[in-house]
Amino acid sequence: MIMNFPLKITVDKNVDQKRLRILERQGKIEITDVKIENPTKIKKRLFPLAILGHTKLGEMLLSDDNSFYDRIIKIIGTDKIEDAIILDAHIRSKNDFFVTNDKVAFINYGKRESLEKSFPNLKIVTMVELEQIIIKN
């Protein structure tokens, strides 16, 4: 599959920022994160879905029919609320890849396959997998 650069990615909190910045400076990726996390140097930030106790007033979106949160939480588990909020924001953004190194929440135990089947345009990759995709293109 041929990729158009820059790839638009949403990053999870556990991804190596230095490696991302190198790819960004090379024009390979455009980085977005979700405003649920602590402040970062990433300029493009998505507002998360409003979940009581997990998001800040004035920095969240109210739920509507476009929320994917309920479907996500059923797959990754009810103890992964912030992870579900982040993935919901990514899906709504229609970015190319969701980059995470959290294998327990998003990849292992068939979670990646279940999530990608439930959301056909979703592509979940680790940092290493993203780098491999870029090298191949």
Cα distance between residue 9 and residue 36, in whole Å: 16
pTM: 0.87
| Cβ atoms of 106 and 84 closer than 8 Å | no
> Is 44 in a helix, a strand, or coil?
strand
Q: List the chain residues with pLDDT less than 70.
A: 1, 37-43, 45, 47-67
Tokens of 54: 């997990």
pLDDT digits (tens, 9 = 90+) for 112-134: 999 999 999 999 999 999 999 99
CATH C-level class of 7-136: alpha beta
